[in-house]
Structure 1
Amino acid sequence: MGRLSKLRIVDPVLTNLSIGYSNAEFIGQSLMPVVEVEKEGGKIPKFGKESFRLYKTERALRAKSNRMNPEDLGGVDVILDEHDLEYPIDYREDQESAFPLEQAAVQTTTEAIQLRREKMIADIAQSPANYAAGNKKQLSATEKFTAAGSDPVGVVEDGKEAIRMKIGRRPNTMVIGASAYKTLKAHPQLIEKIKYSMKGIVTVDLLKEIFEVENIAVGEAIFADDKDRFTDIWGANIVLAYVPLQRGSQQRTPYEPSYGYTLRKKGNPVVDTRVEDGKLEIVRNTDIFRPYLLGADAGYLITGING
């Protein structure tokens, strides 16, 4: 064990703070929830139609058992990435600060790593190249939701049906980019549908009823480039997906058919601290993960919402 390893101290309190921290603006886990794996590399199933198929299971008296006809199970080689950020605290800052700098360091590094994860998921989910021709829709000038006479409900219904015809289940998750959500809230078709509701404005809860999708999340997160130019992580797009919902306290596994998962090495994230040159306390946050699209047939991408 090296000298630095001996000097670093894993802090369980700060680690738990990092594990428990969540930014409501990060919604990537709605599409690719986190599941823990034992190793940083390996092979997991890539889900095809068989994983989602509904089978006849009833058996008549004295009849033979119903036998599945397994297809070749496809696999995906997975490799996880280490994500690591450290935050320096000068002893003088620590003495003068009116708030706990260690906690601020954990929150800052955790949010930065989570922002990176959100961007990774969004890039995968919003790339048309990741979908078959029947699982994506580029809206035309007359179909875009800013156009007069456009039909958001019909477009979403077509997407839901495309997924159902591929996997035998309707999508239960929808992710809407912030700018697309703004357009939907002002769309005459949706306003007409909710005009007798008590709220009188289009909300996420009302969209769940209109689109008949159980879980809807709006992607509000933004990122800044090296020139401090801010950009939406989630563009003017909609992603429909089938993602198995969490069953109480039961842990997810990567073997349950789903649109995708974020694979994380078990035991992460970890926060450790060390003292550098007697003047700086270094708070370091480490997480090991990578998001994977494992069931593209269970997804549908709608692009060009705003033209």
Structure 2
Amino acid sequence: MPTLDTLHVDEALTNISIAYRNEAFVADQLLPVVPVQKRRDIYFKFSKQHFVAEDDTYYPGSHAKRIEVDLEKRGYYDAHGHALEAIIPDEFRENADPGAQIDIEFTEKLAQKIALKQEVNASALLAAANVPNNTTLSGTSQWSDYTDSDPVTVVDQAKETIQQLIGVVPNSLFLPRPVFRTLRNHPRIIDRVKYTGLGARKALTGDDLAEVFEVDRVVVPQVIQSTAHVGQTDTLSYVYGKLALLFYVPKNPGLRTPSFGYTFVWKTGYQVKRYREEGTDADIIKVKKWYDLKVVEANAAYLWLSAVA
């Protein structure tokens, strides 16, 4: 086992792990990152108190009506550790090509593995049990039915549902690749843009769909994972499947700013440690991250399961 004398935080590799980013990963767009100083603490949820029209009548010489101004509902986060390590035998270094940056390569691969698991964990939150405003589509209601489905109208109705629950209009649409591909070719959507500048494009982009659905952004996750065990034939699938999510996230995330969800990250995110293991004549690189993925306000979203066939 390494001792405190031989195990230390490698700042250079830590910076590399923090900077590493696979563009396919989108968990922090679904659940924005909130850096926290404590591993466990409270956060605030939406309160309908802010939409109460108070009696603010005032007379000269009288006291103004005093009210409580706060986010009255609270929740708790608990950042858990996630870590992986890899061994670099001396023989591996000796056999490497000149200029090979083995430590960097291993650090990035470990960071990617941890990030992939974070995406899988985020996808698990997008279930009917966590998002009470939900519909499972089937048959002609699925958006892949180009004859009967009308996704823009359906999303507009969901916006009103959310606004009446939290007082804020949802501003983001989460469309995994299979759903995005279906919508960009949907005849009703093409018909809406054919006489605009968007209609001249060969293919609609995420920004184009954001304009059509009148949201600030469309997030298109393209994360792939293999569900096969070692030695089995690879079975690759989209992590987020064929769902769709309309949700609200603030422009400036924070503990006192309500949102559909957050990623509470402790200790600045990734941390990389490197130590020597003489018994195996090898160096060990360990990448660690503390976070908690949390649905903060379940009513700030609308979920469609099986959005396309």
Q: Which TM-score band (shorter chain)?
A: 0.7 to 0.9
Task: Give a deviation string over 1:224-274, Cα, whole Å, max 9, x none.
Answer: 12243222111111111111124xxxxx42221111111111243210101
The answer to whether the aligner puts 1:109 opposite 2:80 as a matched pair is no
Deviates more, 1:30-39 or 1:216-225: 30-39
- TM superposition shift of 1:13: 0.8
- The 2-side partners of 1:93 and 1:59 are apart by 78
Q: Please, which of 226, 235, 240 is the counterpart of residue 229 of structure 1? A: 235
- TM superposition shift of 1:65: 4.4
Aligned length: 297
1:22 maps to what in 2?
A: 21
Paired residue type of 1:223:
Q
> Rg larger in 1 or in 2?
2
The answer to whether the aligner puts 1:169 opposite 2:175 as a matched pair is no
1:83 maps to what in 2?
A: 82
Q: Please, which of 229, 248, 252 is the counterpart of residue 242 of structure 1? A: 248
Contact 1:161–1:170 (CA<8 Å) still a contact in 2?
Answer: yes
- The 1-side partners of 2:123 and 2:298 are apart by 14
**TM-score, with structure 1 as normaliser:** 0.88
Deviates more, 1:144-153 or 1:63-72: 63-72
Paired residue type of 2:27:
G
2:209 maps to what in 1?
A: 207
Q: Which SS does the other structure have where 2:225 is aligned?
A: strand
Task: Give a deviation string over 1:21-75, Cα, whole Å, max 9, x none.
Answer: 1111111111211112222223333x13437748679988958646545699333
**TM-score, with structure 2 as normaliser:** 0.87
1:296 maps to what in 2?
A: 298
- The 2-side partners of 1:262 and 1:48 are apart by 17
Paired residue type of 2:129:
A
Map 1:125-164; keep pairs closer than 5 Å.
126-132=126-132, 135-147=133-145, 148-164=147-163
> Given the superposition, is the C-alpha separation of residues 31 and 67 from structure 1 closer, same or farther in structure 2, using an over 3 Å criterion?
farther
Gaps of at least 5 residues in structure 1 are 247-251
- TM superposition shift of 1:179: 1.0
Paired residue type of 1:17:
I
- The 1-side partners of 2:202 and 2:183 are apart by 14
After superposition, the CA RMSD in angstroms is 2.5
2:275 maps to what in 1?
A: 274
2:191 maps to what in 1?
A: 192
> Given the superposition, is the C-alpha separation of residues 66 and 262 from structure 1 closer, same or farther in structure 2, using an over 3 Å criterion?
farther
- The 1-side partners of 2:265 and 2:180 are apart by 30
The answer to whether the aligner puts 1:100 opposite 2:93 as a matched pair is no
- The 1-side partners of 2:88 and 2:131 are apart by 46
Q: Which SS does the other structure have where 1:235 is aligned?
A: coil
> Given the superposition, is the C-alpha separation of residues 112 and 31 from structure 1 closer, same or farther in structure 2, using an over 3 Å criterion?
same
> Given the superposition, is the C-alpha separation of residues 220 and 51 from structure 1 closer, same or farther in structure 2, using an over 3 Å criterion?
farther
Contact 2:207–2:217 (CA<8 Å) still a contact in 1?
Answer: no
Contact 1:185–1:201 (CA<8 Å) still a contact in 2?
Answer: yes
Q: Which SS does the other structure have where 1:209 is aligned?
A: helix
- The 2-side partners of 1:31 and 1:165 are apart by 22
Gaps of at least 5 residues in structure 2 are none
The answer to whether the aligner puts 1:183 opposite 2:185 as a matched pair is no
Contact 1:10–1:272 (CA<8 Å) still a contact in 2?
Answer: yes
> Given the superposition, is the C-alpha separation of residues 163 and 68 from structure 1 closer, same or farther in structure 2, using an over 3 Å criterion?
farther
Q: Which SS does the other structure have where 1:268 is aligned?
A: strand
Paired residue type of 1:120:
N
> Given the superposition, is the C-alpha separation of residues 66 and 24 from structure 1 closer, same or farther in structure 2, using an over 3 Å criterion?
farther
> Given the superposition, is the C-alpha separation of residues 69 and 138 from structure 1 closer, same or farther in structure 2, using an over 3 Å criterion?
farther
Paired residue type of 2:218:
I
- The 1-side partners of 2:247 and 2:136 are apart by 17
- The 2-side partners of 1:7 and 1:221 are apart by 37
